[in-house]
Structure 1
C-alpha cells in the first residue's frame, strides 16, 4: 500500500505553500518573451518516438538512455517529451507557420521527462522554458535571444552571471 502513497522517484510535488515561486518564474519568463515579440505555443506531452530520434539525435544519451518510450495500443512507438524544441519545430511545420511572416518567434513552458538517475537539482520530471526563432537569417536574432535570457535573469534577481560563447567551427576547421 505504501507504493500508491508516495511520489514516483525523481518527481516532486509542488505544494500550495511553494507554488507561488514556480508561478513567479513562469510569469516572468512569459512576460519577458512577450515583450520581445514571442508568442506562446503548447504541444502534446507525447510525440512519435522518431521525432526525438531525428530532432535530438539518435546517438545522444537523451535518446539512447533517458527517454520514456512505449508502444501505444496501436503498436506505434510513443515517447514522453524529453525537451521542448522538437515538438515546437514539429508544430511549426505541421501547422503551416512557415507560410506566415517570418521570423516566427515562439516560446513555451512545458513539462519534460527523462529517465536518469535522480540527483540534487535533477529530476525525472522537470519544467522547461524555451524560445525558438524560426526563419531568422541574421545573427542579430541570436543576440536578441541572449538579451531576452539576460532580462529574465535580471528580473528574477539572479546575480553574478557571465556569458561564454563558443563555436563548433566550420566543417573544414572542425576536423
Structure 2
C-alpha cells in the first residue's frame, strides 16, 4: 500500500470543507452551518448585528433557538439604517418591547419555506402573489419579478430576498434588503 502524502491529504480535506460550505451560503462574511439554530448563525453575521441586538432586546432568543421550524426574512443592518431616524433606538427601549416583538415576528413565518417553494406558490396564484401570514399575524405577500423573490408587508413595501435558502437546524433564513413594517 502506498503511503498517503500530506499534501494530498490537505487538498482532500480542503475540497471536502469547500463542498460542505458550498451547501450553505456565507452571510455577512461568516459561514452559516445547517447544524446551528437561526440565532446561533445570525450572531456571526456582520450584516445582522442590528437584527441580533433587536432579537435580544425583544427576548426572542429562546423562541428562535427552539425547534421551530421557522422561515425568517432577515433584514440587513442597512435595512434598519434606512428606517426614519430614531426608529431603531426607540424600538430598542425596554418600554417598547411589545412593539419590537411585533416588528420582529412580522419577519417570521411558521414552517421551513425555501425560496423555490415561495416562488412556485406565487407563480401558481391567480394574481401572481402568494399571500401568507407572519407569526405576528400580519399579512405578507410574495411575488417573483425579474427572477427575484420580493416579500411585501401590509403597506405594500417590497423587500427583496438578496440571499435565499440559508438552512438552519430549526428552519431557514432568507436575507432581505428592507424591514417589513407591520401596520
TM-score (norm 2): 0.26
TM-score (norm 1): 0.27
